[in-house]
């Protein structure tokens, strides 16, 4: 049989040897993002802190992340399962805010995405 469960298989080589990041599942807003929505944009704190987000690390920085903020209630109403950052690309109407935040400098920049004209 030759099972060696204590040894990991070598991952397949990626394009140009780039390191791949596993995208995280939806979670509560990070402190920086929630504070930006409430203080800078003047949103209702109860509503803002009930939102969820998905994040993706930026390529050239360890502390900066791209973030998309959405309402989990709206996603459930529309029958959409949000698994990670890329799953919202197909359902751009669910994205309430998009931008970035930095853990080290505790800065955030979020904007409302432009809705496409019909």
Please compute, for residue 64, the number of CA atoms within 13 A of its CA located in the half-sphere on the CB side: 10
Q: Residue 115: which pLDDT band, with cuts at 50, 70 and 90?
A: low
Q: Which residues pair with 67 in a beta bridge?
A: 55, 99
- Asked whether the whole model's pTM tops 0.85, one would answer no
State how far the alpha carbon of 22 is from the alpha carbons of 70, 74, 85, 86, 99, in Å: 20, 25, 10, 11, 19
- Parse the chain into domains and list their residue ranges: 23-111
Q: Residue 2: which pLDDT band, with cuts at 50, 70 and 90?
A: low
């Amino acid at each position: 049989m030759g099972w060696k469960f204590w040894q990991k298989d070598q991952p397949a080589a990626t394009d140009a040897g780039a390191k791949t990041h596993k995208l995280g599942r939806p979670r509560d807003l990070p402190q920086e993002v929630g504070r930006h929505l409430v203080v800078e944009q003047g949103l209702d704190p109860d509503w803002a802190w009930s939102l969820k987000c998905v994040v993706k690390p930026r390529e050239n920085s360890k502390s900066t992340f791209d973030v998309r903020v959405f309402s989990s209630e709206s996603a459930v109403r529309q029958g959409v399962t949000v698994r990670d950052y890329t799953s919202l690309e197909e359902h751009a109407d669910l994205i309430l805010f998009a931008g970035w935040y930095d853990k080290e400098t505790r800065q955030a920049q979020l904007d409302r995405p432009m809705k496409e004209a019909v």
